[in-house]
Amino acid sequence: MPQIRHKPRRGYEDVAVCVPVTIPYERYATKTAHWWIARALSELAGRAGISHRDFDGLSVSSFSLAPDSAVGLTQHLGLSPRWLDAVPMGGASAVVALRRAARAVEAGDASIVACVAGDANEVDSFRKLLSSFSRFAQDASYPYGYGGPNGSFALLTDHYMRSYGATREDFGKLCVAQRDNALTNPHAIMKKPLTLDAYLEARPIADPIHLFDCVMPCAGAEAFLVTTVDIARDLGLAFARPLATIERHNPFPDDPVQFRGGWAMDIDELYAVAGVAPDAIDLVETYDDYPVIVMMQFEDLGFCRKGEGPDFVRSHSFTNDGSFPHNTCGGQLSAGQAGAAGGYLGLVEALRQVTGQSLSQPVPDAKRALVSGFGMINYDRGLCSGAVILEGDAP
């Protein structure tokens, strides 16, 4: 076999991420994904002070556009982009969209890329989405109790608890902290405080997963712009720079059960390219469809070692005003999961925090955020992972 000389990773020059947009979620809505995406694009254009026709790049993530694709959306919404991307990667969508858009802007393939994720949620649409999610899930996962993601993550959680001694109290602590953060976020779906007792006493969904370990599917949209620093400045937009990003799919295929994600393969390069260490991060937005994945990310993103997740959780508060601010808008667990927009939630929130536009309680002196994405339970584990370190541009 010939030796493959990998090209070294490099950071980004002259890329600005700006205009964090959230279209407030609704539990069930009769509106379509097209409607939600149009709202987000309109908000993006309005806040940037330009026309939506000025977007010459478009990156779309949605599970509910069918039978349309991103192409159909351009005609539907009157865009004529010279660069078009569709990122069907669930919880990793925002990081992946940003990575690609940033390179396109760097290369001059596009000047202003609108990155948008949005999904509809009609009554019963979640069930229909699940049943056609992937071929392996259809063939080898759903025929077994049809737990959907709950069932798959229950198995991972069970294994993680057996292996590393995590307890429900540990997961509960994360969920309660996120709820505390969500109570400061006007857009959060969950408006009531959550106590640890209430968490522990909630009804079981798929042991050991209980009600408050699960996200609430809803409808909504999230969006941001990727453009050049010059354009961002010309438009007078507060922006952040992506210091480094990583992306990985189907990592560790020989692990009998998922106890680590793709970050574990790439995390050293993330920090090396960014030129910062984990202790330089002011806030972390993890992908939190279930708390076990949050704990796994703390380990795989380098905040503690494998197996130390439970101890790490026990030693921090995770609130916006406490130690290790985490999922500062409440995360999906408390803000809601609007389909593919769930993959954007953390990135949009982090962008707000590091550019001084936070809707939820601001993290003090928030400059650098690590945003992590994770998605696509194709069969027994999440396949996609990614991360980005964003640094707010000091005015």
Q: Is 126 in the site for another protein (CB under 8 A)?
A: yes
Q: Which of 58, 116, 120, 156 binds another protein (CB under 8 A)?
A: 156
CA-based R_g, the chain, Å: 20
Cβ of residue 259: shortest distance to another protein, in angstroms? 10
Nearer to another protein, 80 or 144 (CB): 144
**Partner residues linked to 118 by β-bridges:** 221
Beta-carbon count within 10 A of 381 CB: 21
**Residue 148 found at the interface with another protein (CB under 8 A):** yes
Asked if 139 interacts with another protein (CB under 8 A), we say yes
Single-letter amino acid code for the residue at 101: A
> According to CB under 8 A, which one of 75, 144, 277, 315 is a site residue for another protein?
144
Site string for another protein, 280-319 (x = CB under 8 A): ----------------------------------------
Q: Is 135 in the site for another protein (CB under 8 A)?
A: yes
Query: Nearer Cβ to another protein, position 213 or 393?
Result: 213
73 binds another protein (CB under 8 A): no
Min separation Cβ 255 and another protein, Å? 8
Smallest Cα–Cα separation from 115: which of 76, 84, 74?
84
- Cis omega (within 30 of 0) on the bond before 208? yes
Show the site string, 158-177: x = touches another protein by CB under 8 A, - = not.
Answer: xx--x---------------
From 252-260, 264-272, 284-292, 306-314, span contacting another protein (CB under 8 A) = 252-260
Residue 333 near another protein by CB under 8 A? no
**Can residue 106 be called a binding residue for another protein (CB under 8 A)?**
no
Q: Which is nearer to another protein, 9 or 162 (CB)?
A: 162
Nearer to another protein, 249 or 316 (CB): 249
Q: Site for another protein (CB under 8 A): which residue of 105, 120, 154, 363?
A: 154
For residue 342, CA distances in Å to 117, 151, 222, 251, 353 come to: 8, 19, 8, 22, 17
Binding mask 375-394 for another protein (x = CB under 8 A): ----xx--------------
- Using rule CB under 8 A, residue 201 touches another protein: no
Q: Kindly determine how many residues on this chain lie close enough to bind another protein according to the rule CB under 8 A.
A: 39
Residue 200 phi, psi dihedral angles, 5° rounding: -70, -30
Binding mask 205-224 for another protein (x = CB under 8 A): xxxxx---------------
According to the binding rule CB under 8 A, does residue 127 interact with another protein?
yes
Which position among 11, 24, 88, 147 is part of the footprint of another protein (CB under 8 A)?
Answer: 147
| Contact flag: residue 146 with another protein (CB under 8 A) | yes
Positions in the binding site for another protein (CB under 8 A):
126-127, 130-132, 135-136, 138-148, 150-152, 154-156, 158-159, 162, 203-209, 253, 256-257, 379-380
